[in-house]
Structure 1
Amino acid sequence: MEEDWTNVNIYDKSVSCIMASNANLSRYCSNVLISINAAAAICYSVTNFLRLSTDFKENLNISSRVLPVKMKFPFKVDVSPLFELLAVGQILHVVSIATLVGMMNCLIITLVLHVSGQIDILRRELLTICGNGISQRDSIVTSVRLVIIRHQKIITLSENIEELYSDIALMQFLSNTVVICCIGFTIIASLVRDGAIVVILKSAIFYVAVTLEAFIFCFAGEYLSAKSKSVGDAAYEALWYNMTPAECRILLFVILRSQKRLTITAGNVMDLSLEGFTSVMKASASYMSVLHAMY
């Protein structure tokens, strides 16, 4: 990415505009995702912090405060200001972990959007190979050679993203399926109990954040695959009929290579796509219904 930004021609406004628009979009998506994760962590922690567990012993209403994250200490923690300090420390810890997870999700969006921007630049170069009345054979061959080099760089970057996020995506898929199932079951089971509003408030945003996390990985893989296949369409839409048969055969290899779509897999088991996201949601709903029937 640094090399692409370093080599961008500041005098080519269209290339700069493509890269800047993708960078702005990734920045906007990152802010939204980090905000949602932080809001889910704060909502989950604050509802526990404000909740009071009331025990009735010997006809006395004894109220004990509950920490956001349940822990056992060898000393009494429900006295001020120790309780407040521990509660604030736990909230800050939970929010920092949620923000870190959001940053990991933002990174894959940033990488995929950067690759898509490079693909848009590649498609633009393919469409303008013979669009300016170029008659010199050397100029066309040079342009095609530069297109192939850029395409190979895009493939290499995509493979690096796949290598980085393949195992992470597999763990996310497995954990998100279980977490979505458990949170959904908790929300359904709490509807018939007292204090359902507190449980729903605590779990709803967290449910949205976990579901959005699974959707991000699947959408990134789907978007990358769709963009990679558009390279072949751009090569076919180029003015190849102004080239010699030898030069057209070079473009044919570009079309053939683009048919092998770029993608991100979950541990080399399945491709990340919107179909995979629906499979996760279906599996979570199935497990949820089984738990609800057993409960």
Structure 2
Amino acid sequence: MELKSMDTVEMPLFGSTLKLMKFWSYLFVHNWRRYVAMGPYIMINCTQYVDIYLSTESLDFIIRNVYLAVLFTNTIVRGVLLCVQRGSYERFIEMLKSYYVQLLESKDPVVANLVAEATRLSLFISRINLLMGTCTCIGFVTYPIFGSERVLPYGMYLPTIDEYKYATPYYEIFFVIQAIMAPMGCCMYIPYTNMIVTFTLFAILMCQVLQHKLRSLEKLKGEQVRKEIISCIRFQLKLAGLVSSMNSLNTHLHLVEFLCFGAMLCVLLFSLIIAQTIAQTVIVIAYMVMIFANSVVLYYVANELYFQSLDIAIAAYESNWMDFDVDTQKMLKFLIMRSQKPLAILVGDTYSMNLKMLQSLLNAIYSFFTLLRRVYG
């Protein structure tokens, strides 16, 4: 297959992520699957909050239902955002595809190796996230089996129906329905995370390619240097535009997920305190690992982009700029000055997403957990 005719959905960098998006008709396709996926989840999420409000169950099940309700809400927000901004996401992916094809067509072996490494890392993260999502789905279904009471995988308020009554098949019917919907939710939640991670990894790749181009200036002479620097400046503008587009698409969702992550981790830590059996403890820990790993990956790649963008200025300075003429030095200085402002994934269009921000959140969560342990421990 020629690179220029490459199907956007089949870009190696994304693995199966865009195929799942296309299957559920969130991107590139508009059909009934989107509503089959979203409709039941929205209804169930509403019944979850009503069930929490009216619940008379033990505290550990209420806490777990709160966690699942927040997780469902986060999943729905992702789906709604994709539906509302479908055109913007598709245009962004098409733009990313054009940049990706240009890098694939490069005859520079270093660039080829950088592209191959970014693709391998993206596929690895995608598979790990899908594996953790599968384990979490299994946890949803198996958690009630180890409980001391008869409960569904996640709470639902069903007016006029007693789903726990032994003389009726309601419990078994709703258990099967919820078991089927768990992997559907995973296919909505995980691919979006993988897509955002891939966007950021590609921005990191562009930073690394630009650094390589700047360090290779010493191999050029005369007018070739000037042309290459102009090419690097244009490449830098493309990179800045790519990150700016990413922020316009996702910055407000990052804020919602930042708050949801803190809330869910607090709930899970509390569930760990009041877990009744070893099996329940193991499943709660599995939930924590999945949520934590998803967030750490996002914050880690965003942190890497931040520092890789700063390294562009270092790469430019490490070139043999002393041998350039004055006009060429001025152009290189312009590029260095632009690189002094790091490229950052923004949370709420205000705060840079990085490991320092994640550490601050974890410190706050641990303080809250310590308080809860003193009160209920």
Change (3 A) 1:95 1:232: same
Q: Distance in 2 between matches of 1:5 and 1:271?
A: 25
Partner of 1:273: 354
Is the 2:345–2:353 contact (alpha carbons within 8 Å) kept by the matching residues of 1? yes
Q: Kindly state the Cα deviation for residue 81 of structure 1 after the two structures are TM-superposed.
A: 6.7
State the superposition RMSD in angstroms. Answer: 2.1
Is the 1:231–1:258 contact (alpha carbons within 8 Å) kept by the matching residues of 2? yes
Is the 2:141–2:153 contact (alpha carbons within 8 Å) kept by the matching residues of 1? yes
Matched, 1:227 2:321: no
Q: Distance in 2 between matches of 1:11 and 1:143?
A: 15
State which of 109, 113, 135 in structure 2 corresponds to 1:39: 135
Q: How does 1:68-83 map to 2 (within 5 A)?
A: 68-73=153-158, 74-75=160-161, 77=163, 83=171
Whose radius of gyration is greater, 1 or 2?
1
* Deviating more after overlay: 71-80 vs 249-258: 71-80
Partner of 2:101: 6
Change (3 A) 1:176 1:228: same
Q: Distance in 1 between matches of 2:259 and 2:364?
A: 11
State which of 236, 239, 244 in structure 2 corresponds to 1:151: 236
Q: Kindly state the Cα deviation for residue 251 of structure 1 after the two structures are TM-superposed.
A: 0.6
Is the 2:126–2:194 contact (alpha carbons within 8 Å) kept by the matching residues of 1? yes
Matched, 1:122 2:210: yes
Letter in 2 for 1:111: F
Gaps of 5+ in 1: 54-64
Q: Distance in 2 between matches of 1:21 and 1:100?
A: 27
CA deviations on 1:206-226 (whole Å, 9 max, x unpaired) are 111122233223212211101
Q: Kindly state the Cα deviation for residue 184 of structure 1 after the two structures are TM-superposed.
A: 0.5
The size of the alignment, in residue pairs, is: 277
Partner of 2:112: 16
Change (3 A) 1:128 1:189: same
Q: Distance in 2 between matches of 1:11 and 1:264?
A: 30
Q: How does 1:141-180 map to 2 (within 5 A)?
A: 141-180=226-265
Partner of 1:260: 341
Matched, 1:48 2:144: yes
Q: Kindly state the Cα deviation for residue 284 of structure 1 after the two structures are TM-superposed.
A: 0.9
Q: Distance in 1 between matches of 2:344 and 2:225?
A: 30
Partner of 2:190: 102
Matched, 1:112 2:197: no
Q: Distance in 1 between matches of 2:291 and 2:186?
A: 11
Q: Kindly state the Cα deviation for residue 49 of structure 1 after the two structures are TM-superposed.
A: 4.1
Q: Distance in 1 between matches of 2:262 and 2:151?
A: 29
Between the aligned residues of both structures, percent identity stands at 20
Partner of 1:92: 180
Q: Kindly state the Cα deviation for residue 294 of structure 1 after the two structures are TM-superposed.
A: 3.1
Is the 2:146–2:280 contact (alpha carbons within 8 Å) kept by the matching residues of 1? no
Letter in 1 for 2:196: I
Q: Distance in 2 between matches of 1:167 and 1:284?
A: 21
Change (3 A) 1:218 1:10: closer
Is the 1:49–1:87 contact (alpha carbons within 8 Å) kept by the matching residues of 2? no
Which is helix-richer, 1 or 2?
2
CA deviations on 1:145-193 (whole Å, 9 max, x unpaired) are 1111001100110111122221111111111111111110121133xxx
TM-score (norm 2): 0.68
* Deviating more after overlay: 144-153 vs 5-14: 5-14
Is the 1:131–1:239 contact (alpha carbons within 8 Å) kept by the matching residues of 2? no
* Deviating more after overlay: 77-86 vs 144-153: 77-86
State which of 208, 224, 231 in structure 1 corresponds to 2:289: 208
Letter in 2 for 1:122: L
Secondary structure of the residue aligned to 1:7 is helix
